[in-house]
Amino acid sequence: MPSSLRSKKILFGVCGSIAAFKAAGWVSALTKEGAEVTVVMTAAATRFVTPLTFAALSGRPVHSDMWEEGMAHIALPTATDAVLIAPTTAQAIARLAHGMADDLLSASVLACTVPVLVCPAMNSKMLAHPATQKNLATLRGFGYAVAEPECGRLACGEEGAGRLAEWDSVREMLLGLLTAQDMTGQQVLITAGPTREPLDPARFLSNRSSGKMGYALARTAKRRGAAVTLISGPVALEPPPGVTLVRVETALEMAEAVSKCAQTASIVVKAAAVADFRAAAFSAQKIKKTAVEPLLALAANPDILATLGRSRRADQLLIGFAAESGNHEAEGRRKLLAKKADLIVVNDILGSSTGFDVDTNQVTLITLDSTETLDLLSKEETADRIWDKAAALLRARQVKFNQQEAS
């Protein structure tokens, strides 16, 4: 499946910090995703990792000498979509902040007009020094994005802030810089994953939802500039960077969390596979197989989406999911009306490449006046298409509102 980094031209600057070894993994990851990575190293960086390593991982020549090739500092940045500098040392930050052009990397950045992402990595005292903080503020003022260094054990043996940020959050920042920020200002609330309904201290009722679709929606909305709250049942996924995560276990907990957060949301997406039933009574002791009739008494859980549909604000957009094993369109349309949603995303849970616990999906988008079946796509691409549809619905609503105001 194509990644959003495919064919993107990245100028990857590497500076002289021990964290340069991590940059090798990042160049490899970007290249595997189909990005065209050109590495520029400072002289100090070549002391930590050889240019050969980066050349082998990127499949392209590595540049480090200002004087080797004619106008490399002009040619390199013009053929690029974004500049990523990792690790960015205190020295490089100072050079960039002062517009110096005394090596190939700093001259290239000075000559570039594309987004720049710096990833500081250094000793915590060097990071905390007012000079570095002032230089970082200057870079932010230039519009450069800064991947905040993390706290932890540093190469010098000290504990503190200064560790290179994690790849997942840097990758998301890079994708954000390469993506139109068309969801800026939207407050998005997403539910994801299954719920777990306990029967006794050892057992629960649940379903096969992995949370991948809801997490993909959260990542892509954040990437497009939205403020995202993700209410998640128990899943084995890393939290998407930059997203407010609320962990819940049962349907009742999810209902409570949704009702707390829904008021301020402009778009609510219920991608969670909420258990329709819970145990009528929780047994505080483990149920013995000899002690009871093998019958389970169940109680219905509240339908969170339908509750939202009844109480929603007029300007809120409500999106539900329907996991179906047959009669997809009719079932989706029935749920659209019954739950008073603006959009129902129907997926087929019997297909081997769609539905539960796979990275791909094929969905049908159902609104009051349209039905559209998308191709088999990655869940992230599917999520982007859902956001495109949401944007179109919001635009149509605005047009209608303007017409009503005018008449």
What is the identity of the amino acid at 90?
A
Q: Which residue from 22, 63, 335, 379 is in contact with ligand C5P, where contact means CB under 6 A?
A: 335
φ and ψ at 358, to 5 degrees?
-120, 165
Nearest Cα neighbor of 331 from 316, 347, 315, 313 is 347
Q: Give yes or no for residue 213 binding ligand C5P (CB under 6 A).
A: no
Confirm or reject binding of residue 276 to ligand C5P (CB under 6 A). Answer: yes
Residue 198: strand, helix, or coil = strand
DSSP 343: E
DSSP 3-state percent helix, strand, coil across the chain (nearest 5): 35, 25, 40
Q: Which of 14, 107, 190, 251 lies at the binding interface for ligand C5P (CB under 6 A)?
A: 251
Beta strands in 5-156 (DSSP E): 9-14, 36-41, 82-88, 116-120, 145-146, 150-153
Among 305, 365, 366, 386, interactor with ligand C5P by CB under 6 A: 305
- Is 235 a binding residue for ligand C5P by CB under 6 A? The answer is no
| Residue 94 or 349 with smaller CB distance to ligand C5P | 349
Q: How far is the CB of 341 from ligand C5P (least distance, A)?
A: 8
Strand, coil or helix: 223: helix
3 vs 206 by CB, closer to ligand C5P: 206
Q: Which residues are catalytic?
A: 156
Q: Of 144-152, 281-289, 317-325, 397-405, which part binds ligand C5P (CB under 6 A)?
A: 317-325
- Minimum distance from residue 301 beta carbon to ligand C5P (Å): 5
CA 6 – CA 65 distance, rounded (Å): 28
Binding residues for ligand C5P, how many (CB under 6 A)?
13
Told to check if 322 binds ligand C5P by CB under 6 A, we report: yes
Q: Does position 303 bind ligand C5P by CB under 6 A? A: yes
Which residues of 199-342 form beta strands (DSSP E)? 204-205, 227-232, 244-247, 267-270, 277-279, 298-300, 317-324
| Residue linked to tokens 């060097």 | 126
* Minimum distance, C-beta of residue 371 to ligand C5P, in the bound complex (Å): 17
Task: Work out how close the CB of 303 gets to ligand C5P at its nearest, in angstroms, rounded to a whole number.
Answer: 4
Asked if 241 interacts with ligand C5P (CB under 6 A), we say no
State the Cα–Cα distance between residues 113 and 95, nearest whole angstrom. 17
- Contact of 66 with 103, CB cutoff 8 Å: yes
Residues in region 254-273 near ligand C5P by CB under 6 A: 270, 272
User: CB 187 → ligand C5P: shortest distance, Å?
Assistant: 19
Query: Which one of 54, 321, 356, 387 is in contact with ligand C5P (CB under 6 A)?
Result: 321
Interacting residue ranges for ligand C5P, rule: CB under 6 A: 251, 270, 272, 274, 276, 301, 303-305, 320-322, 335
